[in-house]
Amino acid sequence: MEKMIDPVCGMKVKGKELTSLYGGKNYYFCNSHCKEEFDRNPLKYTR
């Protein structure tokens, strides 16, 4: 199973409503603010 950890804040994510596909992987977010931050600067959170 895919780990659902918000890459921006490090929290476990319960739902799958907020996702971004980046580099062939799905990333999940606890809220829209974290998703926006990730989408703005994905390299910062995918290393």
CA 11/CA 23 separation, integer angstroms:
21
Among 7, 27, 34, 38, interactor with Zn ion by CB under 5 A: 34
Amino acid at 31: N
27 vs 30 by CB, closer to Zn ion: 30
Task: Report if residue 4 touches Zn ion, rule: CB under 5 A.
Answer: no
Question: Maximum Cα–Cα distance for the chain, whole Å?
Answer: 27
- Give yes or no for residue 30 binding Zn ion (CB under 5 A): yes
Answer yes or no: are the C-beta atoms of 20 and 38 closer than 8 Å.
Answer: yes
The residue within the footprint of Zn ion, chosen from 5, 9, 19, 22 (CB under 5 A), is 9
Task: Using CB under 5 A, list all residues that contact Zn ion.
Answer: 6, 8-9, 30, 34
